[in-house]
Structure 1
Amino acid sequence: MEGFLRFLVAKAILLALASSFVSCYDPSPLQDFCVAVDDASGVFVNGKFCKDPKYVKAEDFFTSGLNIAGNTINRVGSNVTNVNVDKIPGLNTLGVSLVRIDFAPGGQNPPHTHPRATEILVVVEGTLLVGFVTSNQDNNRLFSKVLYPGDVFVFPIGMIHFQVNVGRTNAVAFAGLGSQNPGTITIADAVFGSKPSIMPEILAKAFQLDVNVVKYLEARFSSNYDRHY
């Protein structure tokens, strides 16, 4: 009897953990669609309010412009064009979004992470070096590969990853993400461009740098110019 009770308790814990894990991701739809709508009178929640279905139209599931190259004249030489729930309200609760990434020769999408989404990227033009780094528990291993048109690479949720144009011409890639609003944390922007700034002494010790070097980096990133998304 005692062993059976232990089994039931263990099963209950596993079910609770599973439920908690599932709740970390985008909410599952409980109807055909939940087109996002702003409602200033409501309480802000993780997601969006739903438009009355009888007022939904085709335009709620549509956007255009991904045929237009993004402006890559900036400090990193790339541009990300987002197609998320803010661009297509009909994406709300569907757990998916899309980006177009343009790269100048030598341009990069700097090391960053998406806290709410796995990313799957396909190269349509040019040559990209891509990679991601695993967690501390996995000894921060780097998985990296050079991609050509038609090649596909996956970046697991939460992993720090990057893309660099290693060709002599412009490059273009499209990526699908497993969230209507995956979020982006660009490591350098977050660390050296936080508001207010992190104490230089903390970053100097963390990155094994001279304090003056940290102050220089914070001055560059805190200016917020050409911040990359």
Structure 2
Amino acid sequence: MNEISYKLGVTKIFPCNYLPDKEERLLIAVDDRLANSESYGWLMTQGFRRSGEQSYRPHCPNCNACQSIRVLTANFIPSKSQKRSLKRNSHFIIKQSSQLKESYYPLFENYINTLHQDGSMYPASFEQFESFLSCNLTKQLFIETWAPANEEGEEEILVCVAVTDVLSDALSAVYTFYHPQYKAHGLGIFSILTQLNFCQQMSLPYLYLGYQIDDCQKMNYKDRYFPFERFIDGEWQLKLKHDVNKHNITK
């Protein structure tokens, strides 16, 4: 596919959502021939990601802080803290769906309106929820985390949903939202660990985690799942383990 020319669009320059005093610009896959699962999978190997039906990649002037990360799932070994997360949350029930359910919306709304009032998606709306998370480009997997019923007679409670795209050789973590009252459980970390488990069960070699931005607190947590590859200057560079300089990428 990389020997074929495709039509791409470039957005205007606008203030960066993640780094102050930086400017942002996106490369957009506008070619209709790229609007299918196989092409979407190829775009992911080129550092792209999606929002709704639109595949994009940062194309910023004078900045390359956003770097795609994918975990090598067959060789993944959880750290001590990740093992504690798995143990702490082992009582949760994991379910899955292949459809974006309307019943997810109250959880999404609560998550956005409680924890992300400073974000671009606040206040939440059902139209935004549907357009952002639904996708016709490829199959989807919605990984549900449920709190079990208790002895007081309370039924199971949906506490987290990890929206995940299914590619031919990978899963892609699109977005995770959870019940704010369960924030102390570290459900973001737990969801990534659950997605890694699904990859291993499905014999998929990669889990794409999106863009790592070292200097942004909200976006610098994705380089903690080893081994991983980081897309730098058009190449996937391998990082096997953590070292003293966490931003030093070695092959």
TM-score by length of structure 1 reads: 0.27
TM-score by length of structure 2 reads: 0.25
Which structure exhibits the higher relative contact order, with contacts defined as CA atoms closer than 8 Å and separated by 6 or more residues?
2
Larger CA Rg, structure 1 vs 2: 1
